[in-house]
Amino acid sequence: MNDVTKTLTQRRQVFADNALLFYDEPVYFTRAQGVWMYDANDTPYLDAYNNTVSVGHCNVEVVEAITRQASTLNSHTRYLYDTVLDYAEELLKEFPEDLSKIAFTCTGTEANELAMRIAKETTGGDGFIVVGNAYHGCSNATADISPYGSDGIVSASNVRALEPPNSYRLSNAEIEQNFTDGLRQCIKDVENNGHKFAALIIDATLEANGIFAIPTTYLRKSQEIIREAGGLFIADEVQGGFARMGDRMWSFERHNVTPDLVTVGKPMANGLPMGGVIGTADLINHFFRQHHYFNTFGGNAVCAAAGQATLRFIQRERLLNNARSVGKYLFDKCSKLMDKHEAIGHVRGAGLFIGIEFVEDRSSKKPAPVMAKAVMNSLRHHNILTGLAGQFDNVLKIRPPLIFDKANADQFLDTLNLVLSLDLRPATLRP
């Protein structure tokens, strides 16, 4: 048995039979460094997908911070220790002044759970509004507000979903109109269902929708509607935070809004589980006065040290600039590929977060999920890691570590160009 067959067999025994696994032919990895992951033959794969390791796989400074802290002290926030407080201070400086307090959690799911609890406590309501096809987590309440995880369906009576701001199929004016009208209607709907409006939760990158990250005016207008209705504006920065978008540290900033609560997760500690809710002093203090909230591992010293090393690396190495410049290069060249490859319907995104939407043809804009999946699997066979996003799984998701450089971008672009020139139909369907 080779390594892949062996681990697949082992995996089927200990995990659920169909626990999620990437690619038609899964990859077995043994080590990783920077933007590279290596299989059992030490073949390098270019990582154009993993945002959890935003300062690079096995980043030496992060590993050193983890080792130092793990061998010195690891504890929880019911005792006093420096690391988590110093890190909190450094992190909060990256936020607008009003967002002055943080509560640490272990994951983005837990952060959104806490944000929902704070919204419920603050407003006395439990009506939540999200974007159609959004994903906000894997727990009960966050699954309720995650149409993406439920095949697009919103079934909870306290949740309503808005039409996604699809910048490929709608004009900016249409987006603003649809979104704000929809928001007003959704607020009415949840309240008619007996659920006072609590909050709009939105990932401003619209990742699960296929990265509709072009900021227009719709969020600013929405914020006024939310305030009038007495609800909160929660920005889910699990995808778009920590310099990903190239121009600003947080994706909400690109929309000129200041949320009431911000949730963070994934890239926060470069691969260790860490998340948090950042909010105004009033909101955070009020909630903690009402509830004995405690998260055992939230802000533990080892994850805090990893988070601190990650943030400092982002700052010192100016990864915001790198995401902007390499991202722009990648975006422009991807757009150029449209001249040669009809299957590409739309290229969008910002910074190192780019979506390439595949369509049957450009006039109908009919989604081409089979094509998108074939491209992803072919890229994997050419040793490049990407993923899919969007309501129809027809958007190639490019979201590499933030240290991705121009040479990496060129390798990606050359390989994508090659792959798109191949006949990707299954052998049986080829002429």
Give Cα separations from 389 to 81, 279, 358, 369, 380 (angstroms). 41, 29, 11, 10, 16
Total residues contacting a second copy by CB under 8 A comes to 93
Q: Residues in the chain, how many?
A: 431
The minimum distance between CB 55 and a second copy, in angstroms, equals 12
The minimum distance between CB 129 and a second copy, in angstroms, equals 16
The residues in 231-290 that bind a second copy, with binding defined as CB under 8 A, are 265-266, 271-274, 284-285, 287-289
DSSP code of 163?
P
Looking at beta carbons only, is 8 or 338 nearer to a second copy?
Answer: 8
Ordered strands of the 384-385 beta sheet: 36-39, 44-47, 384-385
Per-residue contact string for residues 285-314; x = within reach of a second copy by CB under 8 A = x-xxx-xxxxxxx--x-xx-----------
Q: How far apart are CA 354 and CA 371, in angstroms?
A: 18
Q: How far apart are CA 89 and CA 100, in angstroms?
A: 9
Hunting for tokens 């589980």 — which residue is that? 273
Looking at beta carbons only, is 223 or 239 nearer to a second copy?
Answer: 239
Q: Which stretch binds a second copy (CB under 8 A): 82-90, 316-324, 356-364, 410-418?
A: 82-90
Four-residue CA torsion sign, 260, 263, 267, 271: positive
Per-residue contact string for residues 41-80; x = within reach of a second copy by CB under 8 A = ---------x-xx---xx-x-xx--xx--xxxxxxxxxxx
Q: How far apart are CA 175 and CA 163, in angstroms?
A: 9
If binding is defined by CB under 8 A, does position 140 make contact with a second copy? yes
Interface residue with a second copy, options 20, 153, 427, 429 (CB under 8 A):
20
Hunting for tokens 């296929």 — which residue is that? 210
The minimum distance between CB 241 and a second copy, in angstroms, equals 14
Angle value at C-alpha 327, between 323 and 329, nearest 5 degrees: 135
Looking at beta carbons only, is 25 or 339 nearer to a second copy?
Answer: 25
Q: Which two three-digit tokens encode residue 41?
A: 């033959």
Q: Which stretch binds a second copy (CB under 8 A): 8-16, 164-172, 211-219, 364-372?
A: 8-16
Per the CB < 8 A criterion, the answer to whether 236 and 136 are in contact is yes
If binding is defined by CB under 8 A, does position 377 make contact with a second copy? no
The minimum distance between CB 28 and a second copy, in angstroms, equals 4
If binding is defined by CB under 8 A, does position 14 make contact with a second copy? yes
The residues in 99-138 that bind a second copy, with binding defined as CB under 8 A, are 100-103, 106-110, 113-114, 116-117, 120, 138
If binding is defined by CB under 8 A, does position 2 make contact with a second copy? no
Looking at beta carbons only, is 35 or 257 nearer to a second copy?
Answer: 35
DSSP run (H or E) holding 105: strand 99-105
Angle value at C-alpha 237, between 93 and 168, nearest 5 degrees: 130
The minimum distance between CB 88 and a second copy, in angstroms, equals 4
The minimum distance between CB 355 and a second copy, in angstroms, equals 19
The 10 Å Cβ neighbour count of residue 12 is 12
